Structure 1
Amino acid sequence: MKLQKVETNQNDSVSNGWKIASAKSGRPSLVRSDGRWCESRYSPEVDARRRVEKNGVMKGETVLLVGMGAGELPRAILDVIDKEGRLAVVEPVAEILETVADNETAGNFLSDSRVVTLAFDPKKNAGKIKIQENKQIIICNTPNEFNAGILELLKNYEPDRFIINPSVEWPEKLSALKELFSDLEVRMKSSLHQEDLLKKNKSINRERFLSAPGVSELRNLLDGSDAVIAGGGPSLEKIAKIIGNNADWIATSRALLPLHFLGITPHLAVTTDPQEEIARHFIFPDNSVIPPAVVFPTVSPHTLNAVPQIISAFAEGDGGKRMKTLREEIGELPAGGSVITSAVGLAVLMGAKRIFLAGADFAEPMMKTHVKGTSMELSRAAVLGRFSTLENFGILGERFLCSKGERSFAKSVGGESIPTRKNLMIYARAIQRLAKKYSHITFFQLSKDAVELDGIEYVKADEVSFIRSNILLPSGTRMRKNGELYEDR
C-alpha cells in the first residue's frame, strides 16, 4: 500500500508521536509518527474483514494477532470467533497500544473479556509475566521478557490461527523476532494457498493415519546415539559415499532415491508435502523395500499409498486446543520450515545425542539444485529436448530466479559467497532456531558447500565415528481414544 501524508483534524487523537486518524469511512486508522498512513485512509474496517476472511478464521477459534493497528483487525476477528473464541494480541510497540487505548473508538476491543494483549515497552517495569484466562494487558520491558510472554501465550492459548497485521511495526531491539514472524508469515501464505488441497488430503487419509502407530512411540529409541539427517541437496552424494550404512539415517523424501542408488537404506523417511508428485520419491526402480515413513495427515494420498509402513505425526500445534489430546496421543513434530525441520525434530524426539546434517545445504552451487538421482532429474529430462544441455537449462532457470528477485547469496561453511534462494534461507533459519532450542544436542554440518548455520559446527564426515543403536520400530494397527477429534479442515 502506498503511504500518504496525513493532515491533523480536531477529531483525531495523538499520543507518543503515533496518531489515530479518522478514515473517510469514519473508522479509526493508524498513522505513523512521520505522518504517514499505516492502514487504509478510506475503509480500514473493510480491509480488516477481508484479511480475516482470507485467513480462514472460524467461529470458536483462538487467534494470535501480531500488531493491533488502530483496532479494526482485532474487532473483525472478534466478530467472527464469536463468544466461544479468544484473541491474543501481540503488540511490539507499546506506544501504539497507548495511542489506541487513549482513543475510545479504536481501543474498545481492549476491554473485551476474550482479549489478552502483550506489548513491548523498554521504558517500563513490567514485573513478572503471568497470563491469566481473563482480560488484561501485559507490558514487557526487555526482549527476553517479551519473547517469554509470547511463548506463554502460545502455551496457554494454543491458537488455531496466526495473523500478522500488515501495519505491524518492529523496534530494532526485536529484530530477531521480526525475522521469525516474517518467516512464519511466508509459510502461512503458502499453507493458505494450498488450503483446499490440505483439507482434501486430510479427509482421504483419515482412516489409515489414525490406525497407524504414532510418532510418540519412537520417543528415545535412539537412546543417545547419533542421527544423520539426509536432505536432497547437492552435497549428499559425496557425504553418503563416505558414511555408507555406518550411521542411523533419517531421510527426507527427496533423498530416498539417491541413497538407494548408493546402497544405503535409511531407518526412516520423513515426508510432509501435500503435492501428488512427492509419491515419485517412494517408487524404487527395482522394487526394493521402501523404508517406513513418518507422515503428516496432509500428505498426498498417492504418497501414502506408495509407502508400505507409515508412522503418523501431526504438525506441531495442528488443530489448536481442540485437537490437543489427539496430538498428544499420536505425537507431533515441528513444521516451521522445510521437511528437514521435521526430520530434525524427529531425531530430537528419538533421543539423538548428536545430529549431523547431510545434503541440508540450503544452497545451489553452480546452478545445482538437488543431489544426483532424485526424481527431479526425470522431470528435467522430459523438457531437455527444448535445450541443448543441462547447463543451458540451468542458465535459463537462473535467469528466471533473478527476474523474480528470488536469487540471493549467503556465506557458506567454507567461507565463500554461495547462491541460495529467499525460501531456502527461511528453512535455514528454522534449523538454526531448533539448534538453539535443543542446546543439549550437538549439531554438525557435513559440507563446506552448505549455507553456514549459526551455532552449528562443521566436521568432516570421514573424521566421525558414528554411534549407532538397534532400533525396533513399532508396527501393527492402533485404536485411537481421541480419534473423533480428528479434523478435516
Structure 2
Amino acid sequence: MGCAPEPAARNHDAAGHDHSSGSGMSGGAHASNSLPERSDLPHDALECTEPPEGWEVAKAASGEPTVRLNGKWLHSPRDPRMESARLVDHNAVPGGVVVFYGLGLGYPVEYHLDRSPENHAVVVEPEPRLIAAAAQTRDLSALLANPRVHFIAEPNPERLAVLLRHFENRPIRTVRLRAIVERSSDFFLQCDRIQETFFARRDINGNTLKRFGGVWVRNLARNAPILSRARGVNLLADRFAGVPALVLAAGPSLDLVLPHLEQIRRSALIVAVDTAAAALTAHGWEADLLVVVDPQWWNTRHLDRVRSQRTVMVSESSTHPRVFRLIQNQPLFAESLFPLGRYLERATQVKGTLGAGGSVATSAWDLARLMGCSPIYCAGLDLGFPDQRTHCHGSFFEERMHELSRRLKPAQHHAFSYLVQANPYRVADNRGGTVLTDQRMAIYHWWFENQAQIHPQVDTRTLSPGGVAIAGVPFAALEELLSLPVRRASMDQALESLRTAAAAPLEEDTEERLRSLVVDLIAELGRVERSCMQGLDALDAHRRGSTALPQTLRRLDQADRDLRALEHRDIAGFLVQDALSRITRGEDHGDALETSRRIYESLWQSAQFHIRELKRASSFLHNAPIL
C-alpha cells in the first residue's frame, strides 16, 4: 500500500464516543523514524512519512499524545492510558492472547504486554501506514521490537487463521478500536468469521479428543504389528505428476458421476474415501486408492462389501484394526498426528504427512495433491445438503437410515434429524442459488478455502453443481472430465509399481526395534505414575493437616520437576489435553491445589491406560501378528 491519502468513513472511538472537536496538529513530533526490521511488517509502507488523510495528533488532558482519524478519536482525549487499561481489563485474561483490531497509538497493546510476561498480542491492521503514523507520533520502538507482538499488516484476513494456530491452547480475546474497525468494516468482519471458525474447530477438536482419545491409543497398540511392516505415503510423492485425479466423497452429487465411472477411469486416477467405497462397489468398480483414517468400529461398516483386490489403501496407525482385516492389501501409512504414534513410528519406515481438516475427504484431497495430480476433480464433496439430501445412494449412511426406520420413525425422520442437528443455514452454491449447510460442514469449507490459498498452484475443481461454493475451487461440468485423453495403461503401470514398492521387504529388525521402543516407554510411563503419586500424596497430607502449605508446595515442585525431566511426558499428557486446555485458557476457576489434584489424577490414569495398552502391543509384536 502506498503513501497516497485516501478518503475514510466517519468512525467512533474505542469507547464509542463521537467527538468532533479537539485541538490537534497534523503529523507527530516525537516519533522515532527508525523502525525495526520485522518479517511481518512491510518495510516500504512503514517508511511512509506522510500521515493518512484525517490523521490529527492532539495532546490529551493527561499530557499524553492522542489522535483523531477523520474526526473520530482513536483514544480518549482525556487519558488514553487509563482508557486503554479499562478496555483491556474488560476483555483480556492474564497469560492470554489478545487480538487487537487496530494498533492506534499502541497504548492498549503496551498495557496488555505489561500485565504479564506470558501475554501475547496479535495486532491486525490492514493499513500499514497507520502503524507508520503511530510510530511517528509516539516512540513505539520497544513495542515494535517485542517478540510477543505479532503483526498482520496487510489486507489479507486469512493470515489471522494461520497465526491463531500457534495459540491453540491459550485464552484468546479481542479488543476493537472502533474507529479502525469501522474504517475497514468488511475486512474485520472476515476476521470475526475466521475467529468464530477457529473457536468452533478448537471446540470440536477438544470434544473429539475427549471422545476418541482412548480409542486412538487402543487402536495404535493393536496396530503395532501392521505398523512394523508398513511404509509411508512418501512413496506416493509426485508419483502421478500431471495425471488428472477424481476424488470421490459420499455426498449426494456422487450419484451424478458414478454412472460415468467406466469412461472417467480411463482418463483419471480414482481416489475414494471409505464412505464412498460401497457406492463404487455397487456400480461394479473399485478405487485406485482408498483413504481410510477413522478410528471407530462403526465406520468400518462402510467397507463390509467393498471390492479391493487391486486397491492401494492409504491409512494411519490409529485407524480401527478391523479395517486391516477387511482390506488385507499392504497399506501405506501417513505419519501419525498423535504423540504415541509419532514415537512408535521412529522404528518404522512410515514417512510423509497428509493434511487433516476433520474429514477423510480433506486427507483424500491432500493425497491427490501429494501425488502431483492435476487437475484434481472432486465429486460428492458437497459440504452441504443439495435438495435436502445428506449422502449418495448406496452409502452405509443411507442403508443405516432404512435399517433403523420404524412405522412411527421412518427413514425420512432420521434424515431430517441429521439435517437439523447442527444449526443449519443457507449459503451460496455452485449454480448461483443457495444450499443448506451447517456448522460441521463450515469447518471443512474453511479448510478447503484455506488450502486453495496456501496451494494456489494446485488446480482443484468441483463437479457438484448444488454443492457449497468454495473460493478457489471453481465448478467444472462433468463433460470436461469426460473429454480428457485416455491414459489408463500408464496409470495401471504406475499403480503396479507402487504396489510392488509398498510390499517390498523391510529391514528384519524393524519389529524388534519397535518392541524395544515399547518396552522403554512402558518404563518411562511408570516414572510418570510415581511422580503423580508423589504429588497426590503431598496433597493428601496437606488436606489431612499433616504438612503446612510451604512444605506441600515444595513437594509439588519436586514432583513437577520430575515430570518435566521425562522426555516423553507428552504421551501421557495427550489424554489430559482437554483438562489442561481449560486451565490454560482460564476456563477452570477452581482452587489451585484442587486443580493440581485433577491434573495429577488425570496424568496417573492416562499413564496407567497407556502402560496397559502398550503391554498388549508388546505381546502382539512378540507373538504372531494380530490381523
Answer whether TM exceeds 0.5 for this pair.
Answer: yes
Structure 1 residue identity aligned to 2:428 = K
For 1:374 and 1:307, the matched residues in 2 are separated by: 18
Deviates more, 1:346-355 or 1:407-416: 407-416
Count of residues paired in the alignment: 393
For 1:207 and 1:15, the matched residues in 2 are separated by: 63
The residue aligned with 2:123 is: 120
1:270 to 270, 287, 291: 291
Instruction: String of CA shifts for 1:403-461, please: whole Å, max 9, x gaps.
Output: x5521111111122211221112112211211222211211111211111112221111
Shift of 1:151: 5.8
The residue aligned with 2:324 is: 304
Matched, 1:31 2:89: yes
Task: Give the direction of change, closer, same or farther, for the CA distance of 1:461–1:206 in structure 2 (3 Å limit).
Answer: same
The residue aligned with 1:136 is: 147
Q: Secondary structure at the match of 1:435?
A: helix
Task: Give the direction of change, closer, same or farther, for the CA distance of 1:382–1:390 in structure 2 (3 Å limit).
Answer: closer
Conservation of the 8 A alpha-carbon contact between 1:414 and 1:449? yes
For 2:394 and 2:117, the matched residues in 1 are separated by: 60
Q: Secondary structure at the match of 1:163?
A: coil
Conservation of the 8 A alpha-carbon contact between 2:272 and 2:287? yes
Q: Secondary structure at the match of 1:295?
A: strand
Q: Secondary structure at the match of 1:457?
A: coil
Matched, 1:332 2:353: yes
Deviates more, 1:292-301 or 1:136-145: 136-145
Shift of 1:206: 2.9
Conservation of the 8 A alpha-carbon contact between 2:161 and 2:198? no
Instruction: String of CA shifts for 1:306-354, please: whole Å, max 9, x gaps.
Output: 2212110125x65499869959951111102311111111001101121
For 1:393 and 1:263, the matched residues in 2 are separated by: 28
Matched, 1:71 2:94: yes
Task: Give the direction of change, closer, same or farther, for the CA distance of 1:290–1:70 in structure 2 (3 Å limit).
Answer: same
Task: Give the direction of change, closer, same or farther, for the CA distance of 1:406–1:335 in structure 2 (3 Å limit).
Answer: same
Matched, 1:295 2:306: no
Task: Give the direction of change, closer, same or farther, for the CA distance of 1:109–1:164 in structure 2 (3 Å limit).
Answer: closer
The residue aligned with 2:543 is: none
For 1:300 and 1:341, the matched residues in 2 are separated by: 19
Task: Give the direction of change, closer, same or farther, for the CA distance of 1:324–1:334 in structure 2 (3 Å limit).
Answer: farther
For 1:452 and 1:308, the matched residues in 2 are separated by: 38
Conservation of the 8 A alpha-carbon contact between 1:20 and 1:70? no
The residue aligned with 2:467 is: 450
TM-score of the two chains, using structure 2 as the length reference? 0.55
Q: How does 1:368-447 map to 2 (within 5 A)?
A: 368-387=389-408, 389-395=410-416, 397-398=418-419, 401=420, 404=421, 406-447=423-464
Matched, 1:162 2:179: no
For 1:455 and 1:266, the matched residues in 2 are separated by: 26
Shift of 1:362: 1.1
The residue aligned with 2:239 is: 221
Q: How does 1:118-267 map to 2 (within 5 A)?
A: 119-120=122-123, 122=125, 123-124=130-131, 136-140=147-151, 142-143=153-154, 162-165=168-171, 167-169=173-175, 173=188, 174-175=191-192, 177-179=194-196, 181-193=198-210, 194-244=212-262, 245-246=265-266, 247-267=268-288
For 1:299 and 1:450, the matched residues in 2 are separated by: 29
Instruction: String of CA shifts for 1:197-245, please: whole Å, max 9, x gaps.
Output: 2222223223312421110111111121111100000110221212333
Shift of 1:107: 1.4
Conservation of the 8 A alpha-carbon contact between 2:231 and 2:350? no
Instruction: String of CA shifts for 1:10-50, please: whole Å, max 9, x gaps.
Output: xxx984744369xxxxxxxx633xxxxx4xxxxxxxxxxxx
Task: Give the direction of change, closer, same or farther, for the CA distance of 1:272–1:135 in structure 2 (3 Å limit).
Answer: farther
Shift of 1:141: 5.3
2:85 to 19, 22, 46: 19
Q: Secondary structure at the match of 2:231?
A: coil
Q: Secondary structure at the match of 2:502?
A: coil
For 2:209 and 2:291, the matched residues in 1 are separated by: 22
For 1:378 and 1:141, the matched residues in 2 are separated by: 49
Task: Give the direction of change, closer, same or farther, for the CA distance of 1:120–1:329 in structure 2 (3 Å limit).
Answer: farther
Deviates more, 1:462-471 or 1:378-387: 462-471
Shift of 1:396: 5.2
2:110 to 88, 98, 101: 98
For 1:267 and 1:254, the matched residues in 2 are separated by: 15
For 1:176 and 1:313, the matched residues in 2 are separated by: 31
Deviates more, 1:371-380 or 1:356-365: 371-380
Conservation of the 8 A alpha-carbon contact between 1:234 and 1:364? yes
Task: Give the direction of change, closer, same or farther, for the CA distance of 1:266–1:199 in structure 2 (3 Å limit).
Answer: same
The residue aligned with 1:3 is: none
For 1:389 and 1:236, the matched residues in 2 are separated by: 24
For 1:138 and 1:100, the matched residues in 2 are separated by: 10
Conservation of the 8 A alpha-carbon contact between 1:14 and 1:99? no
Conservation of the 8 A alpha-carbon contact between 1:232 and 1:255? yes
Conservation of the 8 A alpha-carbon contact between 2:308 and 2:327? no
1:107 to 116, 120, 129: 116
For 2:371 and 2:163, the matched residues in 1 are separated by: 26
For 1:19 and 1:364, the matched residues in 2 are separated by: 47
Q: How does 1:344-355 map to 2 (within 5 A)?
A: 344-355=365-376
Task: Give the direction of change, closer, same or farther, for the CA distance of 1:101–1:288 in structure 2 (3 Å limit).
Answer: closer
Conservation of the 8 A alpha-carbon contact between 1:436 and 1:455? yes
TM-score of the two chains, using structure 1 as the length reference? 0.69
Task: Give the direction of change, closer, same or farther, for the CA distance of 1:454–1:162 in structure 2 (3 Å limit).
Answer: same
Task: Give the direction of change, closer, same or farther, for the CA distance of 1:304–1:149 in structure 2 (3 Å limit).
Answer: same
Conservation of the 8 A alpha-carbon contact between 1:243 and 1:461? no
For 1:443 and 1:397, the matched residues in 2 are separated by: 29
For 2:340 and 2:121, the matched residues in 1 are separated by: 20
For 1:221 and 1:344, the matched residues in 2 are separated by: 15
Instruction: String of CA shifts for 1:144-203, please: whole Å, max 9, x gaps.
Output: 79976986997xxxx7x8225253457754346425523531442233222222222223
**Structure 2, gaps ≥5 residues long:** 1-78, 136-144, 182-186, 522-570, 575-627
Structure 2 residue identity aligned to 1:101 = L
Q: How does 1:53-92 map to 2 (within 5 A)?
A: 69-72=92-95, 91-92=99-100
**Identical residues among aligned pairs (%):** 19
Query: Of Structure 1 and Structure 2, which has the larger fraction of its residues in strand?
Result: 1
